[in-house]
Chain A
């Protein structure tokens, strides 16, 4: 197995999609999170910063948004404005688990 790791290195690594909710304050600091601790904290911080930037820029062009949903093929990020901060829902949009199928 060690040899395989040497050959393939980190190139083939893929991360799982985040699931859960994070609450961020107006500075982008994460106040609360239900996302697995295995998911990189830095990436959560990136999500928080990016969505706050979206909301802030919308306010700046006189278009205050109460909710934003980013729909990717495999993930939905729903953001609700929370007095300058935000609550962010992360929901993977994948095919259902085998155990959940009838």
Chain B
């Protein structure tokens, strides 16, 4: 028997709830539509019903959408989430995606293009469990290689903007030919090879730039083949090359720190394995503090239901510090006291490159 999935719509506007309900009842899979006009009622429904997809507004009284999403992501990690909001600012889109929502739609767009919205919802309902998902948002189960080949085979002219967390890369394609690439401070073929190591991310097509300077002259298939060979070798390293790999990685990390003008980076695995530090002699004292500070912050966030920890910023007379934590590592980055640029963004990019 075919399963009817349940969709829960959360919005404080009763008319909007009715409109959404009408729209979603037209879906081919005929899902059950539940509605809630506040977060508390929505959570009560999530406790009792097997909801497949939550569609939530952002601006609501008392508990707003962002807090709600953070709570749902923690309590019900299997539920897919869509934000349907009137907030057009990029900041809210980024914050929602950072919390792990699957789609962000503007209400105006949904009204203008209801058919496409319904197709997206139908696609989300039909997808397999989150754990099995791989690939790039929008093209599930397709690797970046597949996406690039698709663009080149169809003789497209476009700029592919690929995002992985704080890292952004671009590929310039003109008439199906790869002309230039930028990724993690590199350009040309080196950037392309680096980019192909990314396993997940999001991509979007930007308008083509015909006058972009050409830095890549090899055919895209030759580059893809080279990358595949490099990845195979990396996955099965010989014993002789392990030491030189380690040396190369250390030099790469040092150059990252120097390029970004950071003072030091301390990386602490949360599973208790050996920490790593570059740029400081005080790893023995900084690593335990970093780990404990990350634990305290995460514990506080959970108790206050304030959502995931974004970062911890510290000021001392000698330097500024940024602490970042993910599921596996805590990172402490030291910056000179006079640094005024966007330290958080720089720290995130440094950590993302460090991990890659």
Contact = CB atoms under 8 A, between A and B. Distances in A.
Interface of A: 4, 7-8, 11-18, 43, 46-47, 50, 53-54, 57-58, 61-75, 77, 93-98, 101
A58 B288 CA distance: 10
Nearest to B288: A61
Nearest to B86: A101
Interface stretch (B25-33, B192-200, B307-315): B307-315
A46 B302 CA distance: 12
Contacts of B303: 43, 46
B130 interface: no
Contacts of B311: 71
Interface of B: 39-41, 43-44, 47-48, 58-59, 61-67, 70-71, 85, 87, 92, 95, 98-99, 282, 285-286, 288-289, 292-293, 296-297, 299-301, 303-317, 321
Contacts of B61: 97-98
A90 B286 CA distance: 27
Nearest to A13: B40
A47 B312 contact: no
B317 A64 contact: yes
B201 to A, nearest CB: 21
A48 to B, nearest CB: 11
A95 B87 contact: yes
B89 to A, nearest CB: 9
B45 to A, nearest CB: 9
Contacts of B40: 12-14
A59 to B, nearest CB: 10
B47 A8 contact: yes
A57 B289 contact: yes
A63 B289 contact: yes
28 contacts: A4-B44, A8-B44, A12-B41, A14-B39, A14-B40, A14-B305, A17-B306, A43-B303, A43-B304, A46-B303, A50-B296, A61-B288, A62-B282, A65-B316, A66-B316, A68-B312, A68-B313, A68-B315, A72-B308, A72-B309, A72-B310, A73-B95, A73-B98, A73-B307, A73-B310, A74-B306, A74-B307, A95-B92
B43 A14 contact: yes
A70 B312 CA distance: 5
Given A14-B43, A61-B289, A65-B315, A95 B63 contact: no
Contacts of A18: 304
A46 B289 CA distance: 19
Given A67-B315, A95-B92, 10 more contacts: A14-B67, A53-B296, A57-B289, A61-B285, A69-B312, A69-B313, A70-B309, A71-B309, A74-B307, A95-B59
